[in-house]
Amino acid sequence: MQVRDLSLFYGAKQALEDVSFDLFPREILAFIGPSGCGKTTALKCLNRMHDGTRGVRIEGSIEMDGRDIHHPDIDPPLYRRRFGWVAQKPNPFPSSIWQNVAYGARIHGLMNTSADMEAHVEDCLRRAFLWDEVKDHLHKKQGTDLSGGQQQRLCVARALATQPDVLLMDEPTGSIDPIATAKLEELMVELKSNHAIVVVTHSMMEARRIADRVAYFHMGKLLEIGPTQMIFDHAQNAKTRAFVGGEFG
């Protein structure tokens, strides 16, 4: 994906200003920055989640595979199928574990037979590191009966079920415990072998552990983007310069 000079307005209020970045296959790109800086707003632009929001105006361009995602020929529902979405708070459907995963594949007609669907559900749950924990309860337990960390991995399995190219994750570890966070971080690193992943996080340490590149947002602007270690080295050097200047300048 290529994002160029992206600006977004909620009525008269500007939420993003001239944001430009690329998203590459098989990478994790982390959006970091303070609350309200535009991270989630930018994330939602990628799969056109702002389409139904009253008063939103978008300027600039977003291209996927060389095509403008807002071109009249683009069918928004078909386009969004290329993305999986995982929210901050786990939000499984109030139905069986099996139904949670099968739903997306069924409505998009991705599986031809019941045997194909069974294999697909198992594959998604395995890829989400959840199969061994739920395989005996697929039709007995609802998704909402699982622990918080399991629910979030179920949401990842549900996102994978539509066979997306890109996974968008909005603070996916923000409401789960440290043990579940470690499992989900391990899962994200594993999934990047087949998907591009964009993750919003408030945790600098999480970004450092999992991201290939980091994009730092502040007040609606993308101030810096680059390889994770480089961005954190720059930040550390800036802190050191500020300290030396303040103490000894």
Q: In the prediction, which pLDDT does 113 show?
A: 92
What CATH superfamily is the domain 1-82+164-249? P-loop containing nucleotide triphosphate hydrolases (3.40.50.300)
Measured distance CA(108)–CA(93) in Å, rounded: 17
Q: In the prediction, which pLDDT does 238 show?
A: 58
Output the DSSP codes for 88-129: SS----SSBHHHHHHHHHHHTT--SSHHHHHHHHHHHHHHTT
User: What pLDDT tens digit does each residue of the chain (249 aa) get?
Assistant: 999 999 999 999 999 999 999 999 999 999 999 999 999 999 999 999 999 899 999 999 999 999 999 999 999 999 999 999 999 999 999 999 999 999 988 888 888 899 999 999 999 999 999 999 999 999 999 999 999 999 999 999 999 999 999 999 999 998 889 999 999 999 999 999 999 999 999 899 999 999 999 999 999 999 999 999 998 887 766 554 443 344 333
Tokens of 62: 């977003």
Measured distance CA(85)–CA(62) in Å, rounded: 18
Q: In the prediction, which pLDDT does 237 show?
A: 66
Q: Number of C-alpha atoms within 13 angstroms, CB side, residue 234?
A: 12
Q: Quick check: 71 and 146 in contact, CB under 8 A? A: no
Annotated domain spans of the chain = 1-82+164-249, 93-163
Strand order in the sheet with 67-68: 13-22, 2-10, 56-64, 67-68
